[in-house]
């Protein structure tokens, strides 16, 4: 039983690495947009994005307070962590994710919400990706648990829905179920409250599921949809290039 639990923890981390999900941004304030867009567009280096990160933190402190401030700061840390992770600067990414988790935990302690649980899940998922195997084994299963906590408070939270569906799309054989995962992803398009980044994540995940089945004709329209949202995103473009 312990061996099975460890295997499931490893699988959780693997599908999170492949998914590259997160970046919840429902009703994102204007002062956060430049940072989010830079992360998804993948055109700037970390040093070029850092000023956007610092500006977003300053704006958060000016416009928010209490739990809203903690959630905004958690999102800033998560986004900056993803930039360092893209560049394989894992120790720097881990620092941002750790700080993002602290902010999310403060928000949960003060006033539990779907966004607070989701930011904790987002930061923890990528912490598992950039930290030690031991950390991933100890914490991997909590990622989906926290996402389900978010859904218990808001069943239309699209990013939380995505996390639950992602395990079926991104888990390695024999634990994946592409058809089930794709159906769940398609359901998010009608059942979830989606923002720009949510649509990108869902479209690219469906495309990935079809690519893995070598159904390239079915994958193509979904990947094209994702690139219509973020034309310079290297992940989606790379999937589209596969034949």
Calpha distance 133→151 (Å, rounded): 28
Looking at residue 1, its pLDDT comes to 52
How many Å separate Cα 151 from the centre of its chain? 15
pLDDT in tens, 198-242: 999 999 999 999 999 999 999 999 999 999 999 999 999 999 998
Please give the average per-residue pLDDT across 54-66, as a whole number: 97
Q: What residue spans define the domains of the chain?
A: 2-241
Looking at residue 243, its pLDDT comes to 63
Please give the average per-residue pLDDT across 184-204, as a whole number: 94
pLDDT in tens, 100-111: 999 999 999 999
Residue with tokens 């830079």: 38
Strand runs (DSSP E) across the chain, as ranges?
A: none
Largest distance between two CA atoms of the chain: 50
Band of pLDDT at residue 6, cut at 50, 70 and 90: very low
Using CA atoms of 67, 73, 74, 77 in order, give the dihedral in degrees to the nearest 10: -170
Looking at residue 241, its pLDDT comes to 93
pLDDT in tens, 119-139: 999 999 889 889 998 998 899
Looking at residue 137, its pLDDT comes to 86
What mean pLDDT is reported for the chain? Answer: 89
Residue with tokens 């989906």: 144
Tokens representing 113 are 């919400």
2-241, CATH topology level: 1.25.40
Please give the average per-residue pLDDT across 38-60, as a whole number: 97
pTM for this prediction: 0.84
pLDDT in tens, 74-95: 999 999 999 999 999 999 999 9
CB–CB of 101/127 below 8 Å? yes
């Amino acid at each position: 039983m312990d061996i099975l639990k460890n295997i499931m923890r490893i699988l959780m981390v693997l599908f999170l690495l492949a998914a590259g999900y997160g970046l919840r941004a429902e009703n994102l304030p204007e002062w956060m947009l430049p940072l989010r867009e830079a992360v998804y567009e993948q055109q700037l280096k970390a040093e070029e994005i850092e000023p956007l990160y610092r500006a977003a933190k300053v704006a958060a402190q000016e416009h928010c307070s209490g739990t809203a401030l903690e959630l905004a700061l958690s999102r800033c840390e998560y986004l900056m962590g993803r930039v360092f992770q893209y560049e394989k600067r894992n120790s720097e990414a881990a620092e941002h994710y750790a700080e993002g988790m602290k902010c999310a935990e403060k928000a949960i302690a003060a006033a539990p919400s779907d966004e607070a649980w989701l930011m904790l899940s987002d930061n923890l998922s990528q912490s598992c990706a950039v930290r030690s195997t031991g950390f991933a084994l100890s914490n991997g299963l909590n990622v989906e648990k926290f996402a389900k906590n978010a859904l218990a408070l808001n069943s239309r939270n699209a990013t939380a829905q995505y996390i639950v569906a992602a395990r079926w799309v991104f888990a390695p054989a024999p634990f994946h179920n592409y058809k089930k995962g794709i159906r769940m992803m398609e359901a998010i398009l009608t059942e979830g409250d989606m923002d720009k980044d949510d649509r990108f994540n869902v479209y690219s995940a469906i495309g990935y599921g079809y690519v893995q089945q070598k159904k390239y004709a079915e994958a193509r329209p979904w990947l094209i949809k994702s690139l219509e949202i973020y034309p310079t995103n290297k992940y989606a473009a790379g999937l589209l290039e596969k034949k």
